[in-house]
Amino acid sequence: MMEKTNLKEIFHLKGFEKSYGYAQAVKVGNLLYVSGTVSIDDEGKPRAENDMQVQVQYIYMKIFVYLLRHLD
Protein backbone atom coordinates (compact mmCIF):
# COMPACT_ATOMS: atom_id res chain seq x y z
CA MET A 1 0.00 0.00 0.00
CA MET A 2 1.25 3.52 -0.72
CA GLU A 3 0.30 6.94 0.65
CA LYS A 4 1.19 10.08 -1.29
CA THR A 5 1.65 13.49 0.23
CA ASN A 6 2.83 16.58 -1.62
CA LEU A 7 6.51 15.81 -1.11
CA LYS A 8 6.85 12.15 -0.25
CA GLU A 9 5.52 8.65 -0.85
CA ILE A 10 5.14 6.34 2.15
CA PHE A 11 5.18 2.59 1.56
CA HIS A 12 3.49 0.12 3.91
CA LEU A 13 4.21 -3.39 2.66
CA LYS A 14 2.49 -5.29 5.45
CA GLY A 15 -1.07 -4.56 6.52
CA PHE A 16 -0.28 -3.97 10.20
CA GLU A 17 2.48 -1.38 9.63
CA LYS A 18 0.30 1.70 9.22
CA SER A 19 -1.60 1.02 12.45
CA TYR A 20 1.75 1.19 14.31
CA GLY A 21 2.92 4.34 12.49
CA TYR A 22 5.64 2.37 10.73
CA ALA A 23 6.70 2.44 7.08
CA GLN A 24 9.18 0.14 5.35
CA ALA A 25 10.25 2.87 2.98
CA VAL A 26 9.68 6.55 2.30
CA LYS A 27 10.51 8.14 -1.04
CA VAL A 28 11.31 11.87 -1.05
CA GLY A 29 12.20 13.22 -4.46
CA ASN A 30 14.77 10.85 -5.96
CA LEU A 31 15.81 9.35 -2.61
CA LEU A 32 14.37 6.18 -1.08
CA TYR A 33 14.81 5.82 2.68
CA VAL A 34 14.52 2.22 3.88
CA SER A 35 13.71 1.79 7.55
CA GLY A 36 15.03 -0.77 9.96
CA THR A 37 13.85 -4.15 8.80
CA VAL A 38 13.28 -7.31 10.81
CA SER A 39 12.62 -10.90 9.86
CA ILE A 40 8.83 -11.14 10.23
CA ASP A 41 6.20 -12.55 7.89
CA ASP A 42 3.11 -10.79 6.56
CA GLU A 43 1.20 -11.49 9.79
CA GLY A 44 3.95 -10.06 12.04
CA LYS A 45 5.28 -13.44 13.17
CA PRO A 46 9.05 -14.04 13.42
CA ARG A 47 10.72 -16.06 10.66
CA ALA A 48 13.58 -18.49 11.32
CA GLU A 49 13.84 -17.50 15.01
CA ASN A 50 16.96 -19.56 15.67
CA ASP A 51 18.74 -19.12 12.35
CA MET A 52 20.48 -15.76 11.93
CA GLN A 53 21.68 -16.58 8.40
CA VAL A 54 18.14 -17.24 7.15
CA GLN A 55 16.88 -14.09 8.90
CA VAL A 56 19.54 -11.93 7.21
CA GLN A 57 18.85 -13.50 3.80
CA TYR A 58 15.13 -12.79 4.25
CA ILE A 59 15.81 -9.17 5.25
CA TYR A 60 18.09 -8.59 2.24
CA MET A 61 15.42 -10.07 -0.02
CA LYS A 62 12.83 -7.66 1.46
CA ILE A 63 15.12 -4.66 0.89
CA PHE A 64 15.74 -5.83 -2.69
CA VAL A 65 11.95 -5.97 -3.26
CA TYR A 66 11.55 -2.40 -1.90
CA LEU A 67 14.23 -1.16 -4.27
CA LEU A 68 12.71 -2.91 -7.28
CA ARG A 69 9.25 -1.51 -6.54
CA HIS A 70 10.51 2.05 -6.35
CA LEU A 71 12.91 2.41 -9.25
CA ASP A 72 11.95 5.16 -11.64
The DSSP 8-state label assigned to residue 42 in this structure reads T
Q: For residue 6, what is the DSSP state?
A: S
Q: Write the pLDDT tens digit of every residue in 14-69.
A: 777 777 777 878 888 878 888 878 888 878 788 899 999 999 999 898 888 878 87
59: Cβ contacts below 8 Å, ≥ 6 apart: 37, 38, 39
E-strand ranges in the chain read 2-4, 8-11, 25-28, 31-34
Contact 9, 26 (CB under 8 A): yes
Total-model pTM: 0.63
